[in-house]
């Protein structure tokens, strides 16, 4: 059914599933009472293995696509369904699922089968075979489930629309496509990519709110029969100490000490996540004990302890799915003052989907980008002294200036001195001679070209505008305010 018009939206029963459980129960009862035939139609809908929604919208950007899959306008969905295939007007497709029945590993197995079967069918020769025109089917292959709607049901639908629209308006969804590096570069730093990203999220949150939140990461227990998930608690004394050192102690410029703190926090998180996957977590065990309590049994004090309750108030609900078929994925927050953060780790990129109740999702994405860059810088440069890094900043600035002048000159094309790319980036760059300074279109000196090669690689293989962009990016990383903890006296 096309629910894109206001009139049809007022008659779409799917929106009833977008309300609270109590309101949906009341709406469902009204639907059953409206007409005896509604019971069989509802049974067909609810017993289906999955649903297909033919959407009228055509999302293009990552945020548009994520939001369209997350909720749409609420009327072409049945949010109780575990698996709904969404096909958009521009040919893109995705899915929406209710989480209680399955976890992401199961859903992704189904998604992969669906995608691979669709691609195989599209590539098959018989798909392109010409067929003679055949007579129309005597009966339609698709039959509308036409529900009879009473005034009471229409009232429930109207209230559900108001509730849905208000809920969507109260939320902010932002995405981050971080393309500076990915899994392969993180591995070269000698740390776990997943734990690296977890620490980046903690640093980003700490910079935004000045405290570390209770953070949930899903750890799969599929190694066990009927295994689902365990909670990998990302916050530790190691991660808190490192975040405080990065944000609250900018006067301390011992990069090696901060790098050691970061490595220990990452290692601890990687060990604990592996322990949880082996059944060594605590949250599912405590949850089982809590649910096993009988009404007449005394309630252990731990379940009402304020610290225990705070430790389960997941202001950061996170999980990773890095399946290559995904363009985006995500979910909402699990507490009103929290974030739902989905992330993907690719070979050369990192992707984030952040949802919150207007807590600052876009701002958290910006802090995430800064944190990732800072962490890579910290682990890669911990052995260097601040004055060495400042020397590189100065050298890059000089090279950038000379190359900009050269590229703007109609008299002399860009032709940097050929220098091996392995030249040390911390090599001192001598002050240019006064005669060279007098010529604004002079060629770069050998020392300047050596630094340029060390910074962006094979410089002579790049067009001049790409050289400038690469150097500007490198320079901005060192000079921007978020690196003040590393270079407090840099200007």
Catalytic residues: 99
Distance CA 407, CA 387 (A): 30
Dihedral, CA of residue 195, residue 198, residue 204 and residue 208, to nearest 10: -140
How far is residue 81's CA from residue 41's CA, in Å, rounded to a whole number?
15
Burial class (CB in 10 A: 0-12, 13-18, 19+), 101: exposed
Rg (CA), the chain: 29
Nearest-5° angle of CA 45, CA 50, CA 53?
85
Q: Is the dihedral of CA 334, 336, 342, 343 positive or negative?
A: negative
- Closest among 200, 190, 172 to 345, alpha carbons compared: 200
Angle at 49 between CA 95 and CA 54, to 5 degrees: 45
CB of 361 within 8 A of CB of 245? no
Q: Which residues contact 465 (CB under 8 A, 6 or more apart)?
A: 407
Dihedral sign computed on CA atoms, order 385, 391, 396, 399: negative
Cβ-in-10-Å burial (0-12, 13-18, 19+) of 264 comes to middle
Picking from 64, 88, 308, 347, the residue whose alpha carbon sits closest to that of residue 193 is 347
Dist. CA 329–CA 351, nearest whole Å: 10
- Among left, alpha and beta (phi > 0; psi -120 to 50; other), residue 190 is left
Closest CA to 201 of 256, 172, 242, 252: 242
**What 3-state class would DSSP assign to 360?**
coil
Residues 6+ away with beta carbon under 8 Å from 380:
189
3-class secondary structure, 94? strand
Contact 369, 375 (CB under 8 A): no
* Cα–Cα separations (whole angstroms), residue 427 to 190, 255, 420, 422, 477: 26, 19, 13, 11, 19
Half-sphere exposure of 476 (CA within 13 A, CB side): 7
């Amino acid at each position: 059914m096309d629910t894109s018009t206001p009139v049809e939206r007022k008659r779409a029963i799917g929106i009833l599933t977008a309300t609270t459980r109590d309101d949906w129960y009341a709406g469902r009862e009204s639907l059953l009472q409206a007409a005896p035939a509604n019971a069989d139609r509802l049974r067909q809908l609810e017993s289906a293995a999955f649903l297909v929604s033919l959407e009228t919208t055509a999302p293009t950007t990552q945020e548009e696509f994520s939001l369209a899959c997350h909720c749409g306008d609420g009327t072409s969905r049945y949010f109780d369904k575990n698996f709904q295939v969404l096909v958009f007007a521009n040919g893109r497709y995705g899915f929406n699922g209710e989480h209680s029945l399955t976890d992401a590993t199961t859903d992704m197995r189904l998604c992969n089968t669906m995608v691979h079967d669709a691609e195989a069918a599209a590539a098959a020769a018989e798909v392109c075979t010409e067929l003679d025109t055949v007579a129309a089917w005597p009966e339609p292959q698709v039959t509308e489930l036409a529900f009879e709607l009473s005034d009471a049901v229409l009232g429930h639908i109207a209230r559900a629309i108001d509730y849905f629209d208000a809920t969507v308006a109260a939320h902010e969804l932002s995405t981050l496509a971080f393309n500076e590096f990915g899994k392969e570069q993180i591995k070269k730093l000698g740390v776990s990519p997943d734990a690296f990203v977890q620490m980046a999220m903690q640093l980003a949150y700490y910079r935004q709110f000045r405290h570390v939140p209770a953070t949930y990461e899903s750890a799969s227990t599929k190694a066990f029969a009927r295994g689902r998930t365990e909670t990998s608690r990302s916050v530790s004394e190691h991660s808190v100490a490192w975040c405080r050192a990065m944000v609250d102690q900018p006067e301390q410029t011992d990069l090696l000490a901060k790098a050691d703190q970061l490595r220990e926090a990452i290692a601890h998180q990687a060990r604990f996540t592996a322990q949880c996957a082996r059944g060594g977590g605590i949250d599912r065990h405590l949850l089982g004990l809590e649910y096993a309590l009988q009404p007449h049994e005394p309630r252990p004090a731990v379940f009402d302890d304020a610290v225990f309750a705070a430790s389960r108030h997941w202001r950061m609900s996170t999980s990773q799915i890095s399946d290559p078929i995904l363009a985006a994925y995500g979910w909402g927050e699990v507490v009103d003052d929290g974030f739902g953060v989905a992330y993907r780790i690719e070979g050369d990129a990192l992707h984030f989907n952040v949802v919150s109740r207007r807590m600052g999702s876009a701002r958290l994405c910006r802090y995430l980008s800064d944190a990732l860059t800072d962490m890579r810088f910290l682990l890669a440069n911990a052995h260097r002294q601040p004055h060495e890094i400042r020397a590189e900043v100065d050298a890059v600035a000089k090279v950038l200036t000379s190359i900009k002048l050269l590229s703007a000159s109609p008299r002399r094309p860009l032709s940097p001195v050929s220098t091996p790319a392995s030249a040390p980036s911390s090599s001192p760059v001598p002050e240019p001679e006064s005669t060279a300074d007098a010529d604004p279109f002079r060629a770069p000196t050998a020392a300047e070209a050596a630094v340029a090669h060390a910074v962006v690689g094979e410089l002579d293989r790049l067009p001049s505008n790409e050289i400038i962009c690469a150097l500007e990016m490198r320079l901005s990383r060192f000079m921007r305010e978020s690196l003040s903890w590393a270079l407090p006296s840099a200007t």
